[in-house]
Amino acid sequence: MAAAASSPSPSQILSLARSFIRVSRQFPDYNIREYTKRRAIDAFRQNAKLSEPSSISEAFSFGKSQLDVAKRQAVVYSLYVPPLPSVMDLPNKPF
């Protein structure tokens, strides 16, 4: 319970946000990769309005647990890479 009492520093929160972006790049599928990135950004923007230290630390610990889930999911998705790349992953070549 002592960890929940202290509020995370802004640098720790920023580090968590950057970690989410890094993990989202590990997904081989474009749709999952973009969804993970978009969902992380939206969650951090929504939680930026928090002002109470207890709610901030609760959101931070929830974010860390969700980061662990995202890391595990990235590993699972890498085991089942789609046979064809997404159109969005193809290099832009003129016709």
Average pLDDT rounded to a whole number, residues 71-95: 82
Please, where are the H alpha helices in the chain? 2-5, 10-24, 30-47, 53-79
Global confidence as pTM: 0.79
pLDDT at 59: 95
Does the pLDDT at position 2 exceed 60?
Answer: no
d(CA 27, CA 24): 6
pLDDT at 93: 67
- From the number of C-beta atoms within 10 Å of its C-beta (0-12, 13-18, 19+), residue 65 rates as exposed
pLDDT at 95: 62
Q: What is the pLDDT of residues 21-74, one digit of tens each?
A: 999 999 998 899 999 999 999 999 999 999 999 999 999 999 999 999 999 999
Does the pLDDT at position 84 exceed 90?
Answer: no
At 26 the three-state DSSP class reads coil
The residue with greater pLDDT, 93 or 77, is 77
Place of tokens 């474009």: 30
d(CA 79, CA 82): 9
